[in-house]
Amino acid sequence: MKVGIVGLGLIGGSLGLDLLASESNDHYVWGISRSPETCKQAIAIASVNIASPSIDDIPAQVLEQTDIVIICTPIAAILPTIAALVPKLPAQIIITDVGSVKGLIVEPALEICQKYHQRFVGSHPMAGTAFQGIAAAELNLFRDRPCVITSSDDIEAVAKVRSLWESVGMRIYECCPEEHDRAVAMISHAPVMISASLIAACQKQEDQKILQIAQNLASSGFRDTSRVGGGNPELGRLMAEYNREAVLRSLQEYQLSLQVIIDLIENKQWQELELFLADTQRDRQFYVQ
């Protein structure tokens, strides 16, 4: 496959690494990223074959033969990036994105693409780390992780986008953008805010000695519960901004659950608390294998 990746950070850079390292060895990857230094680094780590901040530097023959272009910029830059690129891409090319929200992206992206006779299908590879930028790119980031592809009548485009993500080991789910945003608010966007508020709550400890001891004792449990709250702040802000209603709804549900726990502890209802925790112990399997 000939692939273009726009935005060579954690997600774009990692995708390029996997494609170029694939056993079939039949991919060619060109990249575009804002900073020339990022482009140089992406070539150096074999995430792309060629890269430049400008699409004008990608040879016309390469563009002509490209099967798919993946937009991997921050959420706020996805639509402007598509709008700037599509007039320079050959007609009928398939474009997808990796944005963590889909509702405010897919419909406008489709409109922009159709104006220039391009095709668009949204995706969201559900994989990440706490780090960002090309230096954070890693091999096998996507292996065995779920990836959402947004439903579309363009069967051929869906099949192409599906085969791209399957080729890096992802499990594919198709759903509409609104369903995606509501579900992802529950299991990804709200947890970022909940995990962040846990870190913030710990940092409120005024007794410096206790704070110091807590920081020294924090181990695997705290590492697990604080991981997503310690991630890319711009990404967290954009999740909330672009998926505001669903994130608020999930956080309000969480607030209610937390209040139940507070009430049980305040009222010393230890048996009920254990039952509550037995339910969550049983139900976790439905989310995490």
The residue nearest ligand NAP at its CB is 9
Which positions from 160 through 189 interact with ligand NAP, judged by CB under 6 A? none
Asked if residue 38 binds ligand NAP (CB under 6 A), the reply is yes
Asked if residue 47 binds ligand NAP (CB under 6 A), the reply is no
Strand partners, 149: 123, 174
Asked if residue 133 binds ligand NAP (CB under 6 A), the reply is yes
As a whole number of angstroms, the distance between CA 124 and CA 137 comes to: 17
Piece in contact with ligand NAP (CB under 6 A), picked from 32-40, 145-153, 210-218, 249-257: 32-40
Asked if residue 33 binds ligand NAP (CB under 6 A), the reply is yes
Total of residues contacting ligand NAP (CB under 6 A): 27
Asked if residue 7 binds ligand NAP (CB under 6 A), the reply is yes
Asked if residue 123 binds ligand NAP (CB under 6 A), the reply is no
Asked if residue 96 binds ligand NAP (CB under 6 A), the reply is no
Which positions from 98 through 117 interact with ligand NAP, judged by CB under 6 A? 98-100
Single residue of 47, 66, 123, 132 touching ligand NAP by CB under 6 A: 132
Least separation in angstroms between residue 268's CB and ligand NAP is 40
Asked if residue 232 binds ligand NAP (CB under 6 A), the reply is yes
**Contact positions toward ligand NAP, by CB under 6 A?**
7-12, 33-35, 38, 72-75, 77, 81, 98-100, 124-125, 127-128, 132-133, 232, 235
